[in-house]
Structure 1
């Protein structure tokens, strides 16, 4: 677990004492991260609701414009193709974006990646420039990014069905794609991190898919119950809090949200058996709503005899590395992820 000094415990961004809407003092933001959040102005204060989801989607699309395939190719440094593949039984076809270093030869290990956005926003293309720059090029790694359907238009299990169908198709066509089907990492961020954790559980239990060599979970959204101490402590603080998370879970699960019999494939924190999982990387901020559910997930993997590397970035809020891409803490987090990937891939 990573720890590092930040602002004094009683101060938040710009030296202000911060409290969540529960009245509990929240952990301080790292000074650089806090300044970046303040620079967003009132955008960080506009909470997601069921009524303003369309407006949030428009704002998200504007802040993270979708690159074209030509832009992703980066003057020929990467080979990029959009693939239309069969969906699950009864589901429409889905799109996979396959990218790799253009000059790489031989079957490459692959990162099967699920984008963030609370399962209600985002797209498969917008995450690729950073992944290609930070991981694919230096590590000789192919990437398959999944354009899964979004809630609430497609609730559970539709998005997860898409992710599973794409994974099985990718591994089944590994030779044609130039991918090593026995060296696949499942990864994702935020809502996509929750889907990655669910997909890894489902793939384990079905027994007819690949055996991944790792799962990379960045600030994953795992627990629909929203009752952890950090979910309550951070209410009203940071760019994404308990209220926004509740909207996302309601959109994804509908009436099944917070149901006692919800399966772990719908919300991975419900899992009672985390044995047999691949080596896992989890990172999360100390000042975000998902902190405690992420820590608990890592602990449950350890208690089941598994391998998990956990980083809790001090003073970090949800999505800090996107909001403050040049901050020192962001650089540390990116380095830690790359180092873990390198070890899993046997590059170091």
Structure 2
């Protein structure tokens, strides 16, 4: 996809900062896809004031910028247009010189493709805790490469090593491929812990949005396969339930800014290869479908109260608690999807990030 001389891949679409991407889209008026889903996205029938009403006051300026800048919804047309553009190799983003980063390819099971990973802050002479990170993007966009600067900050804050996976996106692949790519990376991290300078007994998984869903899937796979003793799972507004926005209606004040029900249906349909909300969706694709939560690793789950995923995340935390899994749930009043990044300077965003890091810090200290 070419916009004012800039070529975008699906990796770019999710990897660019949300505000800069919105600005890029607005630089070329009249893009057909920019309004393709306006009719079905109910939030667009509301006034700006109505869309902001349930958002926390300190987060409203960032939310207003998103609305007024016309951040483009992800639609079938968007994905088709991007798919017709030759993939470009993304340049490495500006990264901190004091936190080393290198690429590695991890073999996956059977005939699956190798998984590209970025190894951050590895020092073989140490025995640091480690995080296997999975980026977000609704299963259809996003980039591990684009997350590196933020992950370097996490590595510095926690004095840990991170491995982030550039899994293949849907609908190019279905969940049966991308979830196994992520598991292959986790297994590689565990089996090569000593060479990476990692304590094999202190490995956590972490992800945001769809990446949070992937992290939950990894925790389930690790429990069921018994190959990696996961210490912790950090689920940042995770995408867990295919029924949200499909067979389960969303209240009118939810998701007025950020990831929307139509985008959610598209993301799940692309990931599953079938209609979301149908009867036989497996838990290996949608963690909310799991029936036995016993034995999963301790969890931190954070979400905003007006995020599309608020109800499913609260329900997932409840099921973990009922299964005697130590679980911390943080619901930020008036927080929309991705508020911690889009409004990172606010007290609410900083408290959210601090809670996430402190939960990991405690897990590593007690592991």
Identify whether the pair has TM-score above 0.5, normalized to the shorter chain: yes
Alignment partner of 1:211 is 2:229 = yes
Which residue of structure 1 aligns with residue 49 of structure 2?
A: 16
Which residue of structure 1 aligns with residue 274 of structure 2?
A: 255
In the TM superposition, what whole-angstrom CA distance separates every residue of 1:58-84 from its partner, at most 9, and x where no partner exists? 9xx9xxx96627x43x23x11211001
The alignment partner of 1:302 has SS state of helix
In the TM superposition, what whole-angstrom CA distance separates every residue of 1:325-345 from its partner, at most 9, and x where no partner exists? 111111110111111111111
Root-mean-square deviation (CA, aligned residues, Å) is 2.8
Matches within 5 A, 1:77-226: 77-100=98-121, 105-133=125-153, 135-207=154-226, 209-226=227-244
Q: Distance in 2 between matches of 1:157 and 1:246?
A: 18
Unpaired stretches in structure 1, ≥5 consecutive residues: 1-12, 19-25
Is the contact between residue 85 and residue 94 of structure 1 (CA under 8 Å) also seen in structure 2? yes
State the aligned residue count.
Answer: 319
TM-score (norm 2): 0.80
Which residue of structure 2 aligns with residue 40 of structure 1?
A: 66
Identify the structure with bigger relative contact order (alpha carbons < 8 Å, sequence gap 6+).
1
Q: Distance in 2 between matches of 1:82 and 1:213?
A: 25
Is the contact between residue 274 and residue 301 of structure 1 (CA under 8 Å) also seen in structure 2? yes
The alignment partner of 1:144 has SS state of strand
Is the contact between residue 268 and residue 276 of structure 2 (CA under 8 Å) also seen in structure 1? yes
The alignment partner of 1:29 has SS state of coil
In the TM superposition, what whole-angstrom CA distance separates every residue of 1:71-120 from its partner, at most 9, and x where no partner exists? 43x23x11211001212211111111001177x95111100000010111
The alignment partner of 2:100 has SS state of strand
Which residue of structure 1 aligns with residue 287 of structure 2?
A: 268
Pair 116,29 (structure 1): closer, same or farther in 2 beyond 3 Å = same
The alignment partner of 2:77 has SS state of coil
> How far apart are residue 233 of structure 1 and its match?
3.4
Q: Distance in 2 between matches of 1:326 and 1:54?
A: 35
Is the contact between residue 112 and residue 167 of structure 1 (CA under 8 Å) also seen in structure 2? yes
Pair 155,101 (structure 1): closer, same or farther in 2 beyond 3 Å = closer
Q: Distance in 2 between matches of 1:67 and 1:105?
A: 30
In the TM superposition, what whole-angstrom CA distance separates every residue of 1:103-149 from its partner, at most 9, and x where no partner exists? x951111000000101111111212212221x211221100000111
Unpaired stretches in structure 2, ≥5 consecutive residues: 1-45
